[in-house]
Chain A
Amino acid sequence: KNQVEQSPQSLIILEGKNCTLQCNYTVSPFSNLRWYKQDTGRGPVSLTIMTFSENTKSNGRYTATLDADTKQSSLHITASQLSDSASYICVVSGGNSWGKLQFGAGTQVVVTP
C-alpha cells in the first residue's frame, strides 16, 4: 500500500480560480514533506519543502500546509494560470536511514481559459 495518498486524482479549474490539493501520509519516521510540480514530459520540480516543525510555506501563488499530528498536507493554488496545468506530487522523506523519498501518485490539474 502506498504510504502517500493524494486527492483528488484530477481536477479541472477555470483560470483565475483557486484550488486545494490534499495529501495524507503514513511514512514514519517523518523527516520532511515536499510538493513537486511536474509538467508533461518533464522531471518534477520542487515547489516547497517543510519539516515537521513548519505548518505553512509559500512559494508565490502556491501555499503548502502541514499537520504533522494528523499526517496531512495541502497545496493551495491561488488565482490559477494556464501554466499551472501540471501534475502536483506530494513527496514524503523519512522511513529509513537516509531519508528515501516516498511519492504520491499526483493530482493532475488542468486550468482552462
Chain B
Amino acid sequence: GAGVSQTPSNKVTEKGKYVELRCDPISGHTALYWYRQSLGQGPEFLIYFQGTGAADDSGLPNDRFFAVRPEGSVSTLKIQRTERGDSAVYLCASSLSRDNEQFFGPGTRLTVL
C-alpha cells in the first residue's frame, strides 16, 4: 500500500478481555514502531522492531503487553486482561531503517469499558 495501515480503526472492549491490534507497514521498511497516545499528549514509545526482532521493548508498560512481527512485515500488538487505563490511540510507524524518517499510520482507538 501507499502508507502505513492499521486495523481496526476503532476497538471497544470490556475490562479483562484480550485484544489484538494490527499494523501493516510500508513495503520494504525494515523498522517498525508502536506508540501509545493519550488524549492531549504526544505519542509515547512502546516497542521498536528491526526486521523480525524487537530491538527495544523498554516502553511496554507491563507484561500484559506483547508485540510480534514474525515475518518482518506485519506486526501485531497484543494486550491481555485489558484495563480501563489502556484506553488510548495506538499508533504504528515504519521507516526504511532506524535512522530514516518514520511514517505513521492513522492509529487504532482502543476503548476499554
User: Which residues of A come within 8 Å of B, CB atoms?
Assistant: 4, 41-46, 49, 89, 91, 96, 98-101, 103-106, 108
A103 CB contact (under 8 Å) in B40, B42, B99, B103: B42
Count A/B pairs, Cβ under 8 Å: 49
Max chain A Cβ within 10 angstroms of own Cβ: one of B42, B101, B106, B107: B42
Q: Is B14 an interface residue (CB 8 A)?
A: no
Q: Is B34 an interface residue (CB 8 A)?
A: no
Known: A41-B106, A49-B101. 9 other contacts (CB 8 A): A43-B4, A43-B105, A43-B107, A46-B103, A91-B42, A96-B56, A101-B43, A101-B102, A103-B44
Instruction: Decide: B107 and A106 in contact? CB cutoff 8 A.
Output: no
Instruction: Decide: A103 and B43 in contact? CB cutoff 8 A.
Output: yes
CB distance from B44 to the nearest CB of A (A): 7
Majority DSSP secondary structure for residues of A touching B: loop
**Residues of chain B with a CB closer than 8 A to A44's CB:** 43, 91, 104
Bound Cα distance A89, B42 (Å): 7
Instruction: Decide: B98 and A43 in contact? CB cutoff 8 A.
Output: no
Bound Cα distance A106, B43 (Å): 10
CB distance from B91 to the nearest CB of A (A): 6
Instruction: Decide: A98 and B48 in contact? CB cutoff 8 A.
Output: yes
CB distance from B66 to the nearest CB of A (A): 19
**Residues of chain B with a CB closer than 8 A to A49's CB:** 101
